[in-house]
Amino acid sequence: MNRRLTLAASVSGAVTVALDGTVLTVAQPTLQRDLDATFAEVQWTSTGYLIAVAALLVFAGRLGDRYGHHRLFALGMLGFGAASAGIGLASGVGWVIGLRVVQGVFGALLQPATLGMLRAAYPPDRLRLPIAVRTSAIGVAAAAGPLVGGALVGWMGWRAVFFLHVVPTLVFGALALVVRQPKRPASRAALDLPGALLLAVTLACLVHTLVSGWSAASALGLVVAAFLVRHERRAASPLVPPDLLRSAAVGSALGVLVVASAALSGTLFVATYVLQDDLGLDPFQSALRSLPLAVLMVAAAPVSAVLLRRAGARRTTVAAMAVLALGILILSRAASGTLFLCAGFALIGAGFGTVMVAATHVVVRQAALASAGVAGGLQQTAMNVGPTVGVAVVIPLTGFGTGVPLVVLGVVVAAGAVVGLALSVRCATSGVNRARRGGRIRIPTRP
């Protein structure tokens, strides 16, 4: 598959997942009325999906390393589309919840593949622009999702938001199957099935705890996590390669992604109440006030590719985290007027868009070609767990007013910028370069 088609497929997969989350939020009230469902049942249409995705992302990345990212991408897209069609035809909320879990399984298969395909198609020093394009597309999807979802629900009902995914997923899934793919070195490591199972249970319990609070599942997660650490230390072929675990750059980038995505989701959660309850704006007026966030996020992605080349990952990430923190702190003064609102949202969009490109670039480039899928799975896990953490953190703080949780999030992001200081570590050599030269070749990166 040529690079342009690979990039188009990667973008389509990322946009599909981004649209799915945003349009579903708009459709949930109508879905609840039409299916006579309880609020808890409607919440499980999102929670079930999140648990399935979070539990399987890393193992799905390993499957892509072993059997080919294009194959996993095709399977994920086709399955995602079929599950979407099934949800659109569902007769009851039980079917919707069950099929959303199935959709989450296939979503987990395609998400790491969207990054793994880019790592396999592009040399390490040319990954910045493809990742920036992918990030811009996600920003457009996130901005357009509520508008598209609202129009579809108002015109055709909640089922239309699921039928929306069917055609593009089937088209790109079929293309990934029929287009001839270049030969690539596959991972020879055995599949760590016990490690995959232990990690899946740990992450599923973590997400369940963040969404529903402390329960028996939380205690189970702690026990299983202890077994996971013990198993991975002794496994001959651990699920996550040791070079990734030992990489300070990868660990720093993943930490930055968790903090930034948690801050963004927590801020948007609080901002909804600020705009509609504190300022008395209707949903459309609220959307207009927050539009600078989406615009600057889209614009920041290509700019961040230039910053990465000129300033390096460390300086770019630390500066972007500072901008993100400043935007959140300004938004805490939203009652001061429209100018503060727009400025805060603009800085948040610019900061988050840059962080996402820079940290993702580090994770994907740092990984050897044979571990690109696992790296993509780790990145996607951070991006899925982070928002759940953010909302879980701000909910108890809202009792002190809307300003307090925003100040706390801003301070956390500012502290998280320190984590970005580890991004000066040089990237590991790609598997392709090792194969070509028969030795270790350093790819210089700027601190």
Closest by CA position to 148, among listed 271, 49, 25, 39:
25
- Least confident residue range of 184-198, 312-326, 350-364: 184-198
Spatial contact of 263 and 397, defined as CB atoms under 8 Å apart: no
Spatial contact of 66 and 59, defined as CB atoms under 8 Å apart: no
Cβ-Cβ contacts under 8 Å for 436 (sequence gap 6 or more) = none
Region 372-385: what's the mean pLDDT?
87
Predicted confidence band at 247 (pLDDT cuts at 50, 70, 90)? confident
Region 242-265: what's the mean pLDDT?
87
pLDDT of res. 76: 94
Region 376-394: what's the mean pLDDT?
87
Region 153-173: what's the mean pLDDT?
87
Predicted confidence band at 283 (pLDDT cuts at 50, 70, 90)? low
Closest by CA position to 55, among listed 194, 203, 195, 192:
203
Region 219-237: what's the mean pLDDT?
87
- Residue 178 above 80 pLDDT? no
∠ CA 111-115-116, nearest 5°, is: 100
The C-alpha atoms of residue 37 and residue 165 are separated, in whole angstroms, by: 24
The C-alpha atoms of residue 96 and residue 75 are separated, in whole angstroms, by: 21
Spatial contact of 84 and 166, defined as CB atoms under 8 Å apart: yes
Per-range mean pLDDT, top range of 177-181, 416-420, 428-432: 416-420
Predicted confidence band at 400 (pLDDT cuts at 50, 70, 90)? confident
pLDDT of res. 425: 43
pLDDT of res. 1: 52
- DSSP letter assigned to residue 367: S
> CB burial class (10 A; 0-12, 13-18, 19+) of residue 438?
exposed
pLDDT of res. 156: 84
Give 425's Cβ-side CA count (13 Å radius): 23
pLDDT of res. 334: 64
Write down the pTM of the prediction: 0.81
- Residue 84 above 90 pLDDT? yes
Predicted confidence band at 79 (pLDDT cuts at 50, 70, 90)? very high
- Least confident residue range of 99-103, 263-267, 305-309, 432-436: 432-436
- Residue 234: CB atoms within 10 Å: 7
- Residue 87 above 70 pLDDT? yes
- Residue 57 above 80 pLDDT? yes
Predicted confidence band at 37 (pLDDT cuts at 50, 70, 90)? confident
